[in-house]
């Protein structure tokens, strides 16, 4: 209990220290656009490997085997695409947010449409992080999950509101290193004390629990959400140059792929040694944590808390800045802080009513990927030679987002894939209907 309180106290102190140093909108949201490739890269990995993804991947590996690697592995592939083709361009455009970037590429109406898709989706993703906090701390502290969720959500939200982007970037570095050390040490201890080797069925990349159609869904929907992502873009906007943004993205892709293997290995071990766990989300925080010696168990819990906060704070600042900058068209630091606090409360309420981690993440990601990823990616690839006709750009966002909602409501993965295809094709047609710029431009 003392270690947990100390962890959250350090977060609040970090937020308070940066609060007095923030001089304006550019410092709060963009960290002055002067960050190195190392800082940006670590922050990208910390944002990607959240507590919900960590707990979820272990649980999926427990039930489905190695295909759980695709949860973060598809993200690593998405980061490679982002680094190779888009990172330098999006940094060169010097946008402030993803909707701001969409407005420059697809027209100002698209800016509003993209903002309206992102805001509720990222509130859902933040809620998934808060659910994970409760699932992590409840078995260890024996405190009611609702009370844990409320207290932690308020703490993380307050920290994010105070410190802004620069505080998040700084804490992301040590949070990622802490999480990595905890997961690697846990995997090493488990395999050293109870040596097992996964079965051949577990080591296949697709199986009965994870068929090829599901893999295609992960590659397109999950991988696509890393190619175009408001949270990740907010990191790249802080890089000191387009080249820095590219190096940070490619470096983080390698780290993400390796950490995904470590996390999946824990789930594969548990499937062999600890069969019969009813709730996959409790494999890591319950069954596995219960076997660890106290120092290692404390390290794992703190590492998972670091993962949760490094994703939740990024999500909250992303949503708060989009509401203030893109929906209300203002640039007030106090406005972003207010909306960060409001979104944190909404996320906590959603988490209280919907404790399903994987379901929350998949639904939020599906709506966003269908409506935003393909239009922005196509427009970025076409830039600077071609522009997208604004009407076609807006139609692509609206149609794709609507099909994403339909997919979530009906449970049809094909509807989501069709939404990505439709929004991409509409944007491509809009590019052909737009204007071609000169090579000099």
For residue 438, is pLDDT > 60?
Answer: no
Confidence label for 200 from pLDDT (cuts 50, 70 and 90): low
CB 79 within 8 A of CB 256: yes
pLDDT at 441: 35
Q: What is the mean pLDDT of the chain?
A: 88
CB 171 within 8 A of CB 7: no
Give ∠ CA 121-152-99 in degrees, rounded to 5.
Answer: 25
Listed ranges 206-215, 245-254, 293-302; the one with the highest mean pLDDT: 245-254
Q: Determine which of 293-307, 331-345, 389-403 has the lowest per-residue pLDDT on average.
A: 293-307
Mean pLDDT within 212-228: 90
Which residue carries 């490094």 as its tokens?
310
User: What is the number of alpha carbons within 13 Å of residue 338 lying toward its C-beta?
Assistant: 10
Q: How many CB atoms lie within 10 A of CB 356?
A: 12
pTM: 0.88
Q: What is the 3-state secondary structure (H, E, C) of 367-391?
A: HHHHHHHHHHHHHHHHCCCECCCHH
* CATH code for the domain defined by 2-355: 1.20.1730.10
CB 73 within 8 A of CB 259: no
| 415: Cα separation from own chain's centroid | 23
> Omega before 384 cis (within 30°)?
yes
Residue among 73, 69, 284, 308 nearest 179 (CA): 308
Counted residue by residue, the chain has a size of 441
Separation between Cα atoms, residue 119 and residue 124, nearest integer Å: 9
Based on its alpha-carbon atoms, the radius of gyration of the chain, rounded to whole angstroms, reads 21
Residue-wise pLDDT tens digits, 122-151: 888 888 788 877 777 776 667 777 788 888
Confidence label for 2 from pLDDT (cuts 50, 70 and 90): confident
pLDDT at 440: 36
pLDDT at 304: 85
Within 8 A by CB and 6+ apart from 280, the residues are: 58, 59, 60, 62, 63
Give ∠ CA 325-124-168 in degrees, rounded to 5.
Answer: 55
pLDDT at 319: 93
For residue 439, is pLDDT > 50?
Answer: no
Domain segments of the chain: what residues? Answer: 2-355
**Structure letter (DSSP) for residue 94:** T
Mean pLDDT within 374-381: 94
CB 312 within 8 A of CB 350: no
């Amino acid at each position: 209990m003392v270690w947990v309180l100390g962890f959250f106290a350090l977060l609040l102190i970090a937020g308070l220290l940066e609060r007095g140093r923030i001089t304006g909108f550019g410092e709060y949201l963009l960290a002055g656009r002067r960050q190195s490739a190392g800082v940006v890269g670590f922050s990208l990995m910390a944002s990607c490997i959240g507590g919900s993804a960590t707990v979820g991947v272990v649980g999926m590996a427990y039930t489905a085997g190695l295909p759980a690697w695709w949860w973060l592995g598809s993200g690593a592939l998405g980061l490679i695409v982002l680094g190779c083709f888009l990172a330098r361009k999006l940094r060169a455009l010097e946008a402030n947010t993803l909707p701001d970037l969409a407005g420059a590429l697809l027209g100002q109406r698209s800016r509003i449409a993209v903002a309206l898709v992102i805001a509720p989706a990222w509130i859902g993703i933040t809620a998934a992080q808060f659910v994970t906090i409760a699932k992590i701390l409840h078995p260890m502290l024996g405190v009611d999950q609702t009370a844990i969720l409320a207290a932690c959500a308020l703490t993380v939200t307050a920290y994010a509101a105070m410190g802004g982007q620069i505080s998040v970037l700084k804490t992301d570095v040590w949070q990622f290193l802490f999480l990595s050390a905890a997961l690697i040490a846990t995997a090493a201890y488990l395999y050293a004390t109870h040596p097992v080797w996964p079965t051949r069925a577990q080591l296949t990349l697709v199986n009965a629990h994870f068929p090829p159609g599901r893999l295609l869904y992960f590659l397109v929907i999950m991988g696509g959400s890393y190619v175009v992502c408001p949270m990740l873009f907010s990191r790249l906007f802080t890089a000191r140059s387009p080249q820095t943004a590219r190096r940070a993205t490619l470096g983080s892709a390698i780290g993400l792929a390796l950490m995904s293997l470590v996390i999946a290995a824990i789930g594969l071990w548990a499937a062999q040694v600890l069969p019969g766990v009813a709730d996959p989300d409790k494999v890591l925080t319950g069954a596995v944590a219960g076997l660890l010696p106290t120092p290692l168990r404390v390290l794992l819990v703190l590492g998972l808390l670091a993962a949760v906060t490094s994703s939740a704070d990024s999500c909250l600042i992303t949503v708060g800045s989009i509401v203030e900058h893109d929906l209300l068209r203002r640039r007030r630091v106090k406005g972003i802080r207010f909306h960060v606090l409001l979104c944190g409360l909404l996320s906590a309420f959603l988490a209280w009513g919907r404790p399903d981690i994987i379901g929350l993440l998949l639904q939020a990601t599906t709506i966003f990927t269908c409506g935003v990823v393909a239009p922005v990616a196509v427009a970025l690839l076409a830039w600077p030679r071609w522009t997208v006709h604004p009407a076609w750009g807006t139609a692509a966002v609206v149609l794709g987002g609507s099909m994403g909602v339909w997919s979530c409501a009906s449970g049809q993965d094909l509807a989501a894939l069709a939404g990505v295809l439709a929004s991409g094709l509409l944007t491509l047609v809009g590019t052909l209907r737009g204007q071609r710029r000169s090579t000099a431009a």
